[in-house]
Structure formats: C-alpha cells, structure tokens
Amino acid sequence: MAAGFSEQFDRHGAWRREMSLRLQVLTDWLHKQELLNDAPAESTQRLIDQLRSDKVMVAFVAEFSRGKSELINAVFFAGYGRRIMPARAGRTTMCPTELGYDASLPPCLRLLPIESRLKPQALLEWRLAPEKWTRVDLDMSDPQQLAETMEKVSEVIYISKDEARVLGFWHDDRPDNNPRVDATGAVEVPRWRHALINIAHPLLREGLVVLDTPGLNAIGTEPELTINLIPQAQAVVFILGADTGVTKSDLTIWREHLISSDESAGTRFVVLNKIDTLWDEMSTAEQIQAQIEHQCADTAHTLDLPAGQVIALSAQKGLLAKVRGDDNLLQQSCLPSFEQLLGRQMLGERQSMLEEAIRACAERLHADAARTMDARQRELAEQTQELKSLRGKNHAVIHQMQLRVEQEKNEFDRGVSSMLAVRSIHMKRLRDVFKALGSASIKKELTPLALALREPGVKLGIKQTYAGGFDNLRAVIRRVQALNDEIHAILTQSFDQLNAEYGFLLQAARPPNMVRFENDLTMLERSHMQYLGMRNMLQLIRPEFCEKLLRALVVRVRSVFEAALNDIELWSKSCSSQLDSQLRERLRAYERRVDAIQRIEGAAGGLSQRIREIEEQENELAAVRLRLDELVSELQVSNATAPVLSSTAGRQTAAA
C-alpha cells in the first residue's frame, strides 16, 4: 500500500533533519578552516533553522455540516482512538482554529474573545498579546479531557441584533446569511474569534499546522483569514457534500475566498465527503461508483479544476476504520487516496523548494571557500618563489627583502582606506533601498486606498483604487531592483579595479531577484479582488470592516517587503564580507612573509626549512580543498536522493 499522509510527512521530517545536520557539519568544518565569512554563515544558519522548524500549513475550508472536522480527525488524530476535534450534526467549529506545536508552551488551548473584533488590531497583533487570550491547559494523557476541552471552539453566545451588527455577523441586506435567532430575538454568534491549539502531536512536532475554518458567514467577516492566512497555506482542502455537490454557498466561498490560479491549482484540493450516504443496497457497486465519478467530474467542471484534484471519500468511515483497524472499510472510505495525493503534491512542492535552496546554498559556500583557498594558494606560491630567490644571498640582501615587504605592507595599509570608501558608497545606496521598503513607504503608496476605504457610504470604484495601490507597491519593488542593479554595477567596477591593483579575487554576486516579491503582491491583490465581490462590497459601508481590511493588507504587505529586505541585506553582507575576507587574508600573508624572512635572517638553514613548511601548507590546502569537495558532494547527493515525495508539478514549480 502506498504511504499515507502521516508516513509521508515523517519521511519529509526525517529528510529535513538529515539535511540540516549535513549543512551544520559543513558550516562547522568551514568555520574550523577559517573559510566561512559572516554573511554566508548567517544565510546558511537561516536555512538550517528553516529546515529544523519549517512549518507546513493545511487549511480546511467548508460550509458547516460538510464533515470538515471529521476529516481532520480521520487524517491526523485517528491514533487517539476517538474524535478530538468536535464533529457532530450541525455547526461545530464556530471560530477559525489553528493546530500546531510550540515547544516553549505547554499543551494548551488559547482562545481570543469575539469582542476583540471591536478593536482595530489585526490578528497578527493579537498574537503578540498572549494575556488577552483565554488559556486552557490540556492533559495529553487523557483523550476524554482533550476532546471535552476542544469543544470550546464550538461555544456560542447570544447577543442583540445591534451587537451582532457591530461585530459583523448581522446584515439587514442579506437575511439569508444571518445567524440563528432564538425565541427571545437574541442572535447566536461564536464566543471566540480565533483559537490556537498547541499539542505535541507527532505531525505537529514535525512542523505541520492545521487550519480549521468555520463557514461562509465567519470567513466573510474576517478579512485577515481570507487574504492572509488561507492564501499562505501550502495546501487548501475545500470540502463539499457528495450527495449535494456544489451548492450556491459553496460556490460563493470558492469564488470569493479561495484563490485558484495556475500557481496554486496544484495545492487546491476538493473533497466530496460523505460518499457513504450514496451506498445504497438497492444499487450495484458499479452504479454507485458511476454516480460518485459523475459527481466528481461535475464538481471539477463547475470549479474549473483538473479532475485529479477532486476526490470523493467518507471521512467518518475512514476514521472508524482506522480506530477499528478495519483495512477493508478503510479502502472503501477512499481516505488513503486523499492522504497520498495531499502528501505527494503538497509535500512534494515544499520539498522541491527546500531542495533548490539547499543546492544554491551549497554552491555559494563552495564558491566562497574556493575563492579564499585560491587566494591562499597564490600567496603560498608567491612566498615560495620569493624565498627561493634568497638562496645564496647574504644577510644584507635578506634584510633588504624584509624592508621591501614591510614597505609593501605599509602601502597596502594606506590603500585600505580607499577600499573602504567602496563600502561607504555601497551603504549610501543601500539606505535608499531600506527607505523604499520601509513602513513609511508602504503608508505613502497605500494612502489613496486608505482614503478611499475611509470614505463614508458605498465605495464606488474601489477595485480601481486597489489596482492603483498595488501598481504603486509593485513600482516600489521594481525601483528597488533598479537600485540593487546600480549597487551591483558599482561593486563590480570597484571589485575589478581592486582585483587589477591588488591581485584580489573579488566577484560581486548578482543581487536577489525581486520578481518573486512582485508575484507575492500580485497574489495578494488577487485575493483582495476576489474578496471584493458583491457580497463584501456591501460590508465596505461599515467603517470598522474597512479598517480591518486595511490593517490586514498593511500587515501582509509589510511581511512581503520585510522578506525582500532580508534577502537584500544578506546579499549586501555577502559582498562586504568577501572584501573583508580578502583583506584579512592579504594582511595575514604579509605577516607570514615578514616572519619568514626574520626567521631566515636569524638562523642558518632557516630558508630551506621555511620552504619545506610552505610546501607542507600547500599539501594541507590541497587536502582541505579535497575535503570541501567531498562534503559539498555528499550534501548534494543526499539532497538529490531525497524521499520520493516530489510530484511532477512540484518540480516544475521549483524549476520555474
């Protein structure tokens, strides 16, 4: 039987640990050999940390009563022998719920009160205020207590229509989508705005994050959920009823809240759940299968998805089969097929990205170390030639040689100041880059959009204003790319001059490509544009909703700009550290030359001994070079022979 999701994720986690260990071994060895500069060390450490703690999010989205929580139980928590997430008839998950693992916290459930919606802070800001959340500790040894505590995500409160309207749950213009009203006229709304569950489940420890979302009414009123959290998930599972297919509210969620583009289609899955409702004793197995296949084909056509992205299954029967150990029922439930697809495509795409990052990192480390060793090799060769020229010479000539070397060193020391002037020009341009990607720049470029959103009444033309705002942001990224290219041209010219004048081996690395950050902004724009369907255009009349939307946008744009800044900063440090390294190597070489001549001058036979010492250093350097090649080769081979998780789609994405 093909590996299920848990097994595939275990393999992926083991591969990440192995690659992080191999990278750590390589960097430790490079440090010991004094072949690792600060910038490459920082960049590599970031990759090691990412490999050790990489997060992979799977978002489950559905209208209520589609069996979403049951599917989460079946895929991730069957090992507890019972339901962990509440799953029963009617609405269960009333607030967005994230399941993950943070070793710094005890097992617990944290709940953000629904009243926080009345405040302007974005959800990311609330995460930084743990004292505002209600925390309930979990007993992982007691499945009963665990399940009972999880029921809190289903809790509701009853409030007046005016209060519900202020919180964003009641809409006079859309009565069909309003929450239930009891006999007294009170409106039922979720008690909590967001839930964070921290448990040491094996998959969560490996970096899996599960996002369980409530139905359309809650998704539509939480802009940060739709435009920030869901789009950043590595996989989105959209759940429908196998008996009903795509309903009107299902289609609204898909069109307005789930991005379906060429870039993301491979990790958007549709599950037709509850196929057991179609198991009819009066129909043959062939007739039932034909009905299921027809529903899958019709759903794929309606949602404009490849047929392979739609899977029919029974989460309830799959969970029951896993708990009972019933392999026959498990196959009938079709749950294993979904787990295999989810693992193969989602983990495959993620692993392809990490593989490419590891390959690029190994190549950078190898190139930087090779440059330093080339400089050392040349210095040793020059020393050997210099010392051999002293054979048969008297003390006066040797002393004259010492004076000449000391003079060269003094001239080099005076030239260092002009070399450091290169860094001054470099840093001046870099400050322009930091300014362009700073918070003030974001605020300036989004000012017209902010003013439009704060206008009272219906926001006519808001889509065009959004488009203009994103055009401004993309223009900033392109301006930054131009500044980076200008810095690169300055460095290349300066490095070429220093190479010619001092015999350095400097090479200015290409600046990071900003296209991916432009693409991130385009994806963010697309999620906003989808969100601004007629349903939510009416929400824009409410000032508090507009403020939430604007804050969610600024938070996401800031994260994109900060990611660009991090890449640029590492590139800049890499260029600077290259110059520092070669300056350091040259100064050491002068010190070794002066020391060698002094020893020769003061001791008979010192010349031959020093030449032998240099020959030994050359042999040691050759051995170091060979060991470097071996370590990098072992890393690349391990990377290339990773567990077979990568899908064709994932590899094509990485290549693109």
Residue 654 pLDDT exceeds 50: no
How many structural domains are present in the chain? Answer: 2
Task: Of 457, 343, 317, 395, give the one whose Cα is nearest residue 602.
Answer: 395
Residue 167 pLDDT exceeds 80: yes
Q: Model confidence at 562, in pLDDT bands (50, 70, 90)? A: very high
What is the average pLDDT across 45-67?
Answer: 89
Using the 3D structure, point to which of 564, 584, 602 is the last residue of a domain. 602
Tell me the CA distances in angstroms from 225 to 22, 103, 221, 228, 578, one per residue in order. 37, 25, 9, 6, 43
Which helix (H) or strand (E) segment holds residue 239: the answer is strand 235-241
The Cα 283–Cα 404 span in angstroms is 100
Query: Looking at per-residue confidence, does 105 or 178 come out higher?
Result: 105
Q: Model confidence at 402, in pLDDT bands (50, 70, 90)? A: confident
Q: What pLDDT sits at residue 323?
A: 92
Q: Which residue has the tokens 């290219």?
A: 485
Pair (94, 209) in one structural domain: yes
91: left (phi over 0), alpha (psi -120 to 50) or beta: beta
Pair (76, 205) in one structural domain: yes
Task: Of 61, 84, 83, give the one whose Cα is nearest residue 214.
Answer: 61
Pair (321, 404) in one structural domain: no
Pair (65, 213) in one structural domain: yes
Pair (490, 568) in one structural domain: yes
List, in order, residues 6 or more apart from 297 with CB less than 8 Å away.
307
Paired strand residues for 59: 211, 236
- Residue ranges in 128-186 assigned as alpha helix (H): 143-150, 161-167
Which helix (H) or strand (E) segment holds residue 625: the answer is helix 606-640
Tokens of 270: 């549709």
Q: What pLDDT sits at residue 107?
A: 94
Q: Give DSSP secondary structure letters for 44-94.
A: HHHHHHHHHH--EEEEEE--TTSSHHHHHHHHHSGGGTS--S---SS----
Mean residue pLDDT across the chain: 85
Range of the domain at 481: 392-602
Residue 332 domain flag: yes
Q: What pLDDT sits at residue 46?
A: 93
Using the 3D structure, point to which of 582, 602, 622 is the last residue of a domain. 602
Residue 644 domain flag: no
What is the average pLDDT across 117-133?
Answer: 88
- Please give the share of the chain, as a percent, with pLDDT higher than 90: 40
Residue 150 domain flag: yes
Local structure of 209: helix, strand or coil? strand
Residue 466 pLDDT exceeds 90: yes
Residue 620 domain flag: no
Between CA 540 and CA 545, with CA 544 as vertex, the angle to 5 degrees is 40
The Cα 189–Cα 187 span in angstroms is 6
What is the average pLDDT across 225-244?
Answer: 86
Q: Model confidence at 649, in pLDDT bands (50, 70, 90)? A: very low
Cα dihedral: 486, 491, 494, 495 (round 10): -150
Residue 168 domain flag: no
Pair (205, 89) in one structural domain: yes
Residue 161 domain flag: no
Which range is least confidently modeled, 324-328, 457-461, 599-603? 599-603
Cα dihedral: 124, 127, 131, 133 (round 10): 100
Query: Looking at per-residue confidence, does 226 or 496 come out higher?
Result: 496
Length of the chain: 656
Residue 367 pLDDT exceeds 60: yes
Pair (402, 481) in one structural domain: yes
Query: Looking at per-residue confidence, does 647 or 524 come out higher?
Result: 524
pTM of structure: 0.77
Pair (323, 433) in one structural domain: no
Pair (301, 435) in one structural domain: no
Residue 481 pLDDT exceeds 90: yes
pLDDT in tens, 82-101: 888 887 665 566 788 999 99
Q: What pLDDT sits at residue 424?
A: 77
The domain that contains 325 carries what CATH number?
3.40.50.300
Residue 198 pLDDT exceeds 70: yes
Q: What pLDDT sits at residue 641?
A: 66
Pair (329, 439) in one structural domain: no
Residue 625 domain flag: no
Residue 2 pLDDT exceeds 70: no
Using the 3D structure, point to which of 283, 310, 343 is the last residue of a domain. 343
Pair (333, 400) in one structural domain: no
Residue 556 domain flag: yes
What is the average pLDDT across 437-447?
Answer: 95
Residue 265 pLDDT exceeds 60: no
Judge contact between 368 and 652, C-beta under 8 A. Answer: no
- A 10 A CB-CB count for 148 gives 11
Burial class of residue 130 in the structure, from the number of CB atoms within 10 Å of its CB (0-12 exposed, 13-18 middle, 19+ buried)? exposed
The Cα 182–Cα 84 span in angstroms is 29
Q: Model confidence at 394, in pLDDT bands (50, 70, 90)? A: low
Residue 106 pLDDT exceeds 90: yes
Residue 393 pLDDT exceeds 50: yes
Q: Model confidence at 519, in pLDDT bands (50, 70, 90)? A: very high
Pair (249, 312) in one structural domain: yes
